Each structure stands twice: as C-alpha cells, then as structure tokens.
Chains A and B, each alone.
Chain A
C-alpha cells in the first residue's frame, strides 16, 4: 500500500494529468498572438490582459471537456471499495493496473471527484452555449421586428416578454422542470415553438439577401431547410428518421426551461438596440433604395448591433451555466448519476462540514468557468469600444 500524496504531489500530478489542456492552450495562444492583427475583434482580444485571462479560463474548460476521455483517471460513474469520502491524494486499495490515486478524493458514493469534475465540464459545455445560442436567435428574430416595426406588434411582444420576466426564475424551474411535466405535451410543444425559430431565422436571413438571385437563393434556403428541419424533427419531437439528432426528455425539459428564461432578456436588449439604430442614416439610405424590411433588419441593423450582442452572448453563456447549476443543485431534471457540477454540489453539501472536497471541486470549477466568461465579455467590451 502506497502512502497518501501531499499537496505538492497532488498539484503536480494534476498538472501532468491535464497535459492535453496545456498543449491546446499553448497552441491556441501562440497561433492567435502571432496572427492577432489579421483576426479582427478576436485578435484585438489579445491586447487586453483581462480579456486574455478570461479567454484562457474559458478555453481551459473547453479543452478539458474536449479531451475529457484522456484526462480522467477513473470512470466517473464507477465506485471503488474503501474510497468513500476519501481525502484528496488517497491511494486506491486495489488499483488493478489503473491510476493509483484519487487525486481530489472520493465522494459519498466512493467515486473519483476529479474525473467527475472533468466530465461535468463536458455536461455543462454541451448545453450552455447551445442554449444561449437558441435564446439569442429567438431574441433576435422577435426583437428586430418589435423594435423596427413597433406599434401593436411591439406592444404585444413586450407584454409577453415582461410576463416571462416577472416570473421568479426559481419558481419557473420548480413548475416547469418536474417529472410530471415531462410526461405531458408541454415541453414538446414549447420545444416545437422555440426550436422552429432558428430555422425561420436562417431562412429569412438568406432569403432577404439572395431573393434577387433565385438560383443561389434556392440552393442556400433549400440547404438550410433540409438540415434545419431534419435537426428540428429530431430535437423537438425525437422523430429523426436517421437517429442523429435527439434529446432525452430530461435534457429537453432542462433545455426548454433555460431557453425560455433567457430569450426575453435577449429580446429586450435587441429591441432597444434596434430602436436606436433604426434612426441612423444608413438605414434611411437602405429604405430609400427600396430594400425590404427584413433585409434592413437582418443585413443593415443586425451587423451594426453585433458589438453589444457578442458581449452579452458571453455573459449569457455564463448565466446559463449558473442556471444549469441551480437546476442541478435542486436535483431538477438531471439524470441521477449525472456528473454535472450542480448536482455534484448538491450531493456533496450534505457532508459539507466534514468532507468538503466533494462539493468544493465542482463549485470552484463552475466559478472559474463563469468568471472566465465574464472577464472575456469585459475584455471584448473594452476592445470593441476602442473602434
């Protein structure tokens, strides 16, 4: 039997175990810094220290999620005898040829905390950016016409958005993410409406640009419709004939709830920016040229609103991560064995005062990811204001 590791040993072993992440970060940063003058806003990010730190934190977790299979030391779901609540650096009783230590200790079910934390990154990064993206497309496709056309449409959409925003988020989660709800049609119907938005968005986007060149238009719009509707049937109704796209009812429920909470805020932001930009001269010029309203909204206003929207997108991924953690913390809509950070914190909190490591590791992981996203947003904001 080997001795338990000291803190210095644990840290150096963690460092070695995470080598794919360091390799990825080094390659990424060298390439980006070398070519930063040719990379637009992304390149300018490397002029700001805050932005770089944020970007490094985010990419750390992205690489950790990508290379999770190489990084983990044990199966995140497997239980090992004698490792219940083991302290960080405890050697395994019977390694059987595998890794000899639990680097960050074991949890209450004798699973490896480190491997679960790394796998948790994969769970979170699989949902959060995707959910933020869908929220953005919904917010944009509704916010642009509300701000540009105004009138009754604006009043109606704003009322609905305020209605959703007046709901305390936590209450919405308790009501919407429950086993009883999963058996009803509500998540499917909501998913049917929410997931249709991105398809519509891209169709209108391309149609508004290329309707003067029917050949190109038919090609692009056709491609979007085929891929979009294929993904749509799979994601929203789990009816993909080829079985490539699909979501478990659990995941769909969580996804719909998170998108539902985020979309109205994006809507308000887009609407505000649109109302500001539509008074500019280039919009008036486009109107005089006789461009259609959707062309003006999507190809004149939207590109000029990108600065604040990109910044908010980073913040929104962070907020979505926090929301997913909240859901996990209350045990809502997650698979029982899931290694995602929220539910790991929830399981760890019962023995928090005695064995804090099981909850502390995912908590710090979640914090560093969100902090990275917020710093990244701050750096982007600063750099985009310099133009």
Chain B
C-alpha cells in the first residue's frame, strides 16, 4: 500500500517555516528539507553551538522575530518530517532527489513549496577574489553564526539596506569599521522619506543606525565608483573614486554586496515559467498573489520568489501554505489570505522606495576592466566574456555559457550569471531582459560522487 505523498517544503527560513506551520495546523504532515543544520534561513541563522552572546546581541531589533520563528518551528516537531543538512539537488517528473547523510533519496511529493531564499548580488571589481573580501551576507554570517569578524579594520561596500545593517552590527560588536562606501549618491537617500508612511519603523531604524555609525566616527562615503581592492595575497587596501577625487583606505576585510539575488534554480527545474522583473533586473518564476507558480502544485514564497525581505517572507510562506490548502479543497482562511496579500502589496511598494534609495549600479558592468575575473570558479575574465560575445556573435546567455564556460562552474552561475547577462546586454547594446537567462542544471549544487542512491519513497519510508 502506498501512503499519499506529503507536501514538500524546500527551505526552513522565514518563508519555509511559516508555510510548514500553516500546513501542520490544517492537519497535513509536510516534509521540510533544508541545507542548514537548524531553522532560520540566512537572516535568522542559528549558531552551531550556543555562546556568550544574547539573542539581542545576535539579531538586534529583530531578536524577537528570530526567537519566535525558531520556537514556532521547534513546536511543530513530531507533526512534520524535517531533514536538516539536506540538499534537494534535482526535481524531475514530480519527484525530488534529496541528498542527506550520504544517501540520495527520491521523494514523491504532493505539493511543492519552494522557499529557497537569496544570496548577495555582486558586480566584479579588480581584487574581488582576494582573501578578506566577503559578501555582506558572508560578513554577517561570520559575525552572527561564527562569532568572528572578517578583519580587524573592515570596510563595507555596496548598495542596499544590508550595507548599513552589517556595518552597524560590526560596530556594535566592537570591530573597527573603517568606512561605509555606498555606491549610490547621497541624494538617493531622500527617497527613503517616501517610505515613512509605508514602513516607518524600518526607516527610523535605518536612520538610527546611520546616525550611530556617524556618531562613532565611521566615515560614510556616497557615490563611490571605480572601486578596486588592493593586496598581494590578501586585502590590504581599497581604492575608489568620488567625482574627480581618488581615495585610498587601508583595511584587511571588506564586506561587499549590491542587494540580493533570488535563488531560482529549483523553480526552473520544476518547470515554472519565468518573467523578467525590471526591479530586481532578473528572471523570476511567475506566481499569482497566493504564490502559485505556473506549474500546478508548485508554490513560491520568500526571497526565492522575488526579493522582499524577511517579514514579507514569513507572510508569503503562510500565504503559499493557504494556497496549497485551498487547492486541495481544505479549509484555507480566505480572510487571512486577503489580509496577507494586502500586507505583501504594501511591502512591495516599500521595496520600490528602497530600490530608489539603494539603486543597483548597472552602469558598472560596461566599465569592468577586461582583466578582472568575472567567474570565480572557472576563472573567466570580463575580457574573455567580451571576446566570446564578439568572436561568436553571441546574443543569448546560454550560447555565451557554451562558448566561454561562464556559468558552467561549481556555483552554476549563482555569482557570475547576472554579471554575464549585464556584460552581454552591454556588448550587444540591448536590454538585460533581451539576452535570455541561464537554464538551470541538476545537480543544483555539487554532490558527492559516492552518494548512495536509495529507493523511491516519502519521508516515512526513508526512516
């Protein structure tokens, strides 16, 4: 006898946890697979072991949200199946391949909620592969989850709310923050005033953090361009230009990021239709207001669907859960669904404000020096990408990948894919929406060759 397949939730961050909770409350027993050892996602990531720091020291103003999320997920134990440290590496024919503890299991599912989150978006600059340069997310994980600073004199560079948040967290932790280098001009920040009516608490918190950085003597530079990282075997200094002035600052750690980029590989493997999103400058899986993807039974929630932040992710996870319940003909709290959609739409309008205050410096792409590496895995330079485009008259991203190997390395284009698209668009004089998107390939992340292949089954069958 075959038991009915479980709903499968990918990711145990804010979206995945709330989706799981919604299904459990309705009497379903989902399987949650997550790469991390504990719930929380990146934003509310938990330490591997406890340490002397309080939850407030770790998560700041978001401490109660983090604690509540962790507690609520723990309370679901016994009513769901939860596989931490599990990599869902392929989706095919309605089944998922999940690598966990050295074994790959093929999981049949009935309903798939993808809450795959996001990573930092970057553009390459000279010296960006040197030891000591980490993403803003990476710098934050080092501090929060590992209790380590990425240097003894650290510079934060880029765009987006995370830039100031991470700089402030380092300052609070007693690290010497040498400067915050914002790629947007100062006057872009006036746009934040438009956000006061939408999310006053978020705006005021941001202003408080910025004021505190200033007060404690951290130099804040705006309109930073032509950035290069100097160093022989590791970061030694950062150089940039502001208007006509060139500046240099010695430092031994750099946190860098230009907002976030959705993790969409699994949605692609699930067969979801994608649309180009001008705000995120990226192809994103289509979804309706309830999170339903174009493939029946596939739902998308959180930053993996579109960048909207942790609060939105919790709401979207719950909303996707309700959509799944509705589609199964179960009780699904339609009033709550409407309220969530209204809240999400307000956060969406707030995202427009943030985008105008922290714009992505798309114009950098055409100025990336030819010798600068674009792909960290295969070590392909901007010049090699440009030559491939020119020599082979390439106008589409997957052709560029085939010819130049950009996006073909271990990271599968997570880091370089959006850069390759920007360069290709620039070289061919077309919009970034006209150069195509990288097709996702299984395995979405490297898996050991020695993986044992287990028989098909659900979570119960695997135990």
A and B form one complex: no
Name B residues whose Cβ lies closer than 8 Å to a Cβ of A.
none
